[in-house]
Amino acid sequence: MNEEKRKEQKKRGIKRFINSFHYSWDGIKYAFKYEQSMFIHVLVTLLVVICGIIFKLNFHEWLLCIVLIGLVIATELINTAIEAVVDLACPEIHPLAKTAKDTAAAAVFVFAITAFLCGLFLFVPKIIALF
């Protein structure tokens, strides 16, 4: 892409600003439709919200849950973007393409495990207190 065309694309304005929300929403819809992991993350999010309501989480507990949910979902979206770019740049199987895709998936895995462990620390004592 030449510099003039790039400058034209990057012009500022209310229409471009509003369109950016549409593009973001398109990315979320794509990930939800085609990425099985995104569907699982959303199901777990619903479970966390339901448990948060049942166990009456306080402000800081909700804040922790919201941050962790956001990080896991954002990382999944970044992983999806990396996979798409790798597939575009390298349609054939290549060891470096595999490495890029695997490490992006590993980033999601690390965040998901971190969120899971924090969820255990948050909810297990509340569950135990019921008995």
Residue 126 CB contacts under 8 Å (≥ 6 apart), including other chains? 55
Instruction: Classify each residue of 92-110 as buried b or exposed e, where b means 16 or more C-beta atoms within 10 Å of its C-beta.
Output: eeeeebeebbeebbeebee
CA angle 123, 129, 130 (to 5 degrees): 100
Answer yes or no: 3 catalytic: no
Choose, from 4, 76, 83, 92, the residue flagged as catalytic.
76
Which stretches of 46-111 are assigned E, i.e. beta strand?
none
Supply the residues annotated as catalytic. Answer: 76
